[in-house]
Structure 1
Amino acid sequence: MKHVKAMAIKFVSSLVLLSLILGLLYDMSFGNIFLITLVLGVAAYLIGDLLILPRTNNTVATIADFGLAFLIIWLMSRSLTYGDNHFSMSLIAAIGVALFEYMFHKYVANNVLKDQGGQQQTRQLQYQTEASEELTPVRQDVRSSNEENKKPQ
């Protein structure tokens, strides 16, 4: 039920946001805005909110949602509408969607992902490196003949 509520909040908010940007500024029809919002909402929720956000942080998920929103809005506006200003229209709409997604990720992290099955969804990746002081081996069989001649006898 939490996912349905989160999807509804995301869909309505995105529809209002894209209606303001695409409808008022760029005169796109409501049917096209509705279709773009539907595709973007489902894709961004599955990829950005359920796959990327639990494994990373809010900033990475927002950047991924910006790229996804730009790509979906640009491709769908090119195929659904006529005109030559698709890049700037998609860029402005994707920036608006990314700003909304930054706040929406906080809601998802606190209310949807927090209590999923009693398990903590966020996991910290720990990378370790190994360092050594030896740069070259110090064995008798790998020394050069010049080093052997320098030894005191």
Structure 2
Amino acid sequence: MKHVKALAIKFVSSLVLLSLILGLLFDMAFSNIFLITLVLGVAAYLIGDLLILPKTNNTIATIADFGLALFIIWIMSENLTYGDSHFLMSLIAALGVALFEYMFHKYVANNVLPNKGRQQQTRPLQYQTEASKELTPVRQDVRSSTEENKKPE
């Protein structure tokens, strides 16, 4: 049930965000925005939130989500709409998605993933070191014989 709730939050938030960026700023149709949000939401949740985030940290997962969002939005907008290159539009939308994903990863780490956000040690680490007077052992008979032979007169 936690995954369904997280997916719903991600889908609704991404739909609103992409509607503002792609719909209002770049005049894209809502049906295309809905399709892009659906594909991006499922792919980013599976790859970024469930695969990359548990193994790395929030920053790495956000960078991966930025690349994935840029690729998906760019490819789908090129294929769904007519016009010039949509790379700048995709870059701006991917930056918005990455900012949202940074905050969403904190929610996923604390509420969905087991023990990712709540890592606690049972006791603090106690390191111990050993110290000695000399770094290397020196045999007394070798040292004393060489020192006696080299004394100046």
- Between 81-90 and 96-105, report the one with greater CA deviation: 81-90
Matched to 1:93, the amino acid is A
| Other-structure match for 1:17 | 17
Q: Which structure has the bigger radius of gyration? A: 2
Give unpaired runs (5+ residues) of structure 2: 120-153
Other structure's SS at 1:83 match:
coil
Query: In structure 2, how many angstroms separate the alpha carbons of the residues matched to 1:97 and 1:67?
Result: 10
- CA distances 1:104-124 after superposition (whole Å, capped 9, x unpaired): 0000000000369xxx7xxxx
Match of 1:131? none
What's 1:141 paired with? none
The count of aligned residue pairs is 117
Match of 2:72 in 1: 72
Shift of 1:83: 1.4
- One-letter code aligned to 1:64: A
Match of 1:24, SS state, is helix
Aligned to 1:88: 88
Match of 1:110 in 2: 110
8 Å contact from structure 2 (residues 49, 61) kept in 1: yes
1:3-152 alignment runs, 5 A limit: 3-114=3-114
The TM-score, its normalising length taken from structure 1, stands at 0.74
| SS at 1:55 equivalent | coil
1:97 is displaced (CA, Å) by 0.1
Structure 1 residue 85, shift from structure 2 partner: 3.8
Task: Return the alpha-carbon distance in structure 2 between the equivalents of residues 115 and 9 of structure 1.
Answer: 21
Q: Distance in 2 between matches of 1:85 and 1:97?
A: 20
CA-CA distance at 1:92 after TM superposition? 0.1
Structure-2-length-normalised TM-score = 0.74
Identical columns (%): 85
Gap runs ≥5 in structure 1? 121-153
CA distance in 1, matches of 2:84, 2:98: 23
